[in-house]
Structures are given as structure tokens and as C-alpha cells.
């Protein structure tokens, strides 16, 4: 029975989602891709689950903090700050792709 419990623990966690309320009052559900640090602050990357932005793979970036234990997302108003955040997110993606590539090559060597 212990083995069964270990197997359950190793299964990937369910995706976290966030519902954004847009300027026009409509709501948009997004998957949380990651929370990351850039320029001494925390940011969150969100991917819409439906609509044209989801089809195009548009990622939304917001400042992220927790207030009284609850997530707090804030718009990035400054272009310079946005550039820093977007560059950090791109680097994160590049590292992840590199890690996956190395992992795949390692699996290929083992076969």
C-alpha cells in the first residue's frame, strides 16, 4: 500500500488557474505558468485558456505579491519595467527548453 501512496505523490499537481476581470468587465480564465523574480520583484506569467489570445499563445505578465495570504496582481505600467520582466521571462523559457533538450538527449543515450 505504501507504493501506491508514493505513486500518487509523484503525479503532477493540478494546474493552478486565475480568473482575470478585464477593463470591459468580462472575465478571462488563465493558467498560471510560473511565478518568477525580476529586478528584485516577483511577477506572474499567465496563459489564457480560451479566446484569440489562447490560440495565439499570448502570455500575460503581472506584478505578483501576496496581501494577507491572498494573491495580488498589479499591472506593469512602466515600459522599462515591462522590458526587464519580459526579458527575464524569455530567459526562463530558454532555460526550460534547454533543460528539456538535455533531458531528452540523456534519455536517448540510455536507450
Tell me, yes or no, whether 102 lies in a domain.
yes
What pTM was computed for the model? Answer: 0.75
Torsion (CA) 28, 42, 57, 106 in degrees, nearest 10: -140
Task: Give first-to-last CA distance, the chain, whole Å.
Answer: 31
Tell me, yes or no, whether 67 lies in a domain.
yes
Smallest CA-to-CA distance from 73 within 61, 83, 81, 85 is with: 61
Tell me, yes or no, whether 20 lies in a domain.
yes
Calpha distance 65→74 (Å, rounded): 8
**Per-residue pLDDT for the chain (111 aa), expressed as one digit of tens each?**
444 433 344 444 578 999 999 889 999 999 999 999 999 999 999 999 988 888 888 999 999 999 998 889 999 999 999 999 999 999 999 888 777 777 777 765 555
pLDDT score, position 31: 95
**Structural domains in the chain (count):** 1
Tell me, yes or no, whether 2 lies in a domain.
no
Range of the domain at 43: 7-110
Report the 10 Å Cβ neighbour count for 76. Answer: 18
Hey, what's the cell of 60? 500575460
Between strands 70-74 and 41-48, the pairing is unpaired
Amino acid at each position: 500500500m505504501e507504493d501506491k501512496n508514493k505513486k500518487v505523490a509523484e503525479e503532477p499537481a493540478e494546474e493552478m488557474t486565475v480568473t482575470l476581470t478585464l477593463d470591459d468587465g468580462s472575465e478571462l480564465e488563465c493558467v498560471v505558468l510560473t511565478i518568477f523574480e525580476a529586478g528584485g520583484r516577483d511577477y506572474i506569467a499567465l496563459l489564457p485558456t480560451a479566446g484569440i489570445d489562447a490560440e495565439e499563445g499570448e502570455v500575460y505578465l503581472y506584478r505578483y505579491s501576496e496581501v494577507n495570504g491572498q494573491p495580488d496582481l498589479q499591472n506593469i505600467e512602466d515600459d522599462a519595467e515591462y522590458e526587464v520582466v519580459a526579458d527575464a521571462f524569455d530567459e526562463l523559457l530558454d532555460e526550460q527548453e534547454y533543460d528539456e533538450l538535455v533531458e531528452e538527449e540523456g534519455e536517448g543515450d540510455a536507450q
